[in-house]
Structure 1
């Protein structure tokens, strides 16, 4: 399957995707991953030359981060190397989010990790792994027992990332809209 997720990871591709959606054509398949945080260990000791920390939304704006969609209580976890931004994710706790590809609002019990992104020139160095580990570690410190992530079916790098962290696929969510006709399906895995 072509890696269609890459098309919406920048503002130009996202604009095209949104234009098709406004014309009434959209389809997506997403896997819902869940991890139990109580027993998990999150080792970021091998983070290398970068640090991972909570930061202000404005700090991730240079990577075209969609900070305008952040919830007021949502945290931005970022990786920095020598003070330069390398990647980020957003993490909320016990919140409802509008899931645009599914055209639906979903409520998440526990942590919801989304928008994991690493600058193209710095991938395959463990940065995304460290970011997700830190988001999970911080959620657990806040008393959260589980974390959830939604990943597009064709986004194999993100699927592998969450699976390495002990996230297990729990549901597959499908959505198709062609004009006024829609179809939704949720299947347990």
Structure 2
């Protein structure tokens, strides 16, 4: 049986989700991962790290990867993995900020770092790029005074869940949201 994320994490699954949402039907479950940055492992991308420079950059640098840079907040960092100056992956990070979480249809305030939009070009996956991005971002967030880092990961996103768990993030809560027309239900429970 194929893994659920392979069925839902593609353009067809997204199209179905968006079509249902336009008709007033949506459901999501996000796992809130949290890491204490005092205990976080050092930035390390494994053996492949040397091929990529991981650094903060101007948002335009990652535009070639169709990064949703229009949704960046003014003080949000873009951290990119670059190979010979070409972007191979990126993520966004803010410290002590409030974000609109579209799948939950609500705003959430994050104390410390909030890591989101982790993306690696499909041709460059499984090379330690996402691991290096998260590691460097945690280091940068610590430098900015963050004591912890949080990421919200969809239940069906197994690769991202594994990434954050490998980096020492613990699943703390599950945030669920279901809406059918005018009726909605939210719940938050320990993970």
* Fold equivalence (TM over 0.5): yes
Q: How far 1:44 moved relative to its partner?
A: 2.7
Instruction: Give the whole-Å Cα distance in 2 for the aligned partners of 1:184 and 1:84.
Output: 41
| Distance in 2 between residues matched to 1:13 and 1:64, nearest whole Å | 19
Tell me what 2:41 maps to: 41
Aligned to 2:95: 93
Structure 1: runs of 5 or more not aligned: none
Deviations 1:19-76 (A, max 9, x none): 4323201110110000000132323374121110001111111111111110000000
RMSD, aligned CA: 1.7
Could you list the runs of 5+ residues in structure 2 that have no partner in the other structure? none
What TM-score, normalized by structure 1, do the two folds share?
Answer: 0.92
Using the TM superposition, give the Cα deviation of residue 154 of structure 1 relative to its aligned residue in structure 2, in angstroms: 0.8
Instruction: Report if aligned partners of 1:117, 1:128 keep a CA contact under 8 Å in 2.
Output: yes
Cα distance, 1:170–1:38 mapped onto 2, change above 3 Å: same
Whether the 8 Å contact between 1:5 and 1:152 is mirrored in structure 2 is no
> What residue is the counterpart of 2:139 in the other structure?
137
Count, aligned residues: 186
Residue 29 of structure 1 aligns with which residue?
29
Match of 1:17 in 2: 17
The whole-number CA distance in structure 2 between the counterparts of 1:167 and 1:83 is: 30
Residue deviations 1:122-173 (CA, integer Å, cap 9, x gap): 0000000000001100000111100000000010100010001110000001
Structure 2: how far apart are the matches of 1:160 and 1:13?
Answer: 21
- Give the alignment's TM-score, normalised by structure 2: 0.92
Mean Cα deviation higher: 16-25 or 51-60: 16-25
Contact 2:41–2:167 (CA under 8 A) maintained in structure 1: no
Distance in 1 between residues matched to 2:161 and 2:142, nearest whole Å: 21
For residue 102 of structure 1, what is the aligned residue in structure 2? 104
Moved over 6 A (4+): none
Retained in 2: the 8 A contact 1:75–1:91? yes
Instruction: Give yes or no for the alignment of 1:81 onto 2:83.
Output: yes
**Matching residue of 1:127:** 129
Give the corresponding residue for 1:150. Answer: 152
Measure the CA separation in 2 of the matches of 1:173 and 1:5: 19
Counterparts of 1:149 and 1:5, CA distance in 2? 20
Secondary structure at the residue paired with 1:101? Answer: helix
Contact 1:95 1:107 in 2 (8 A): yes
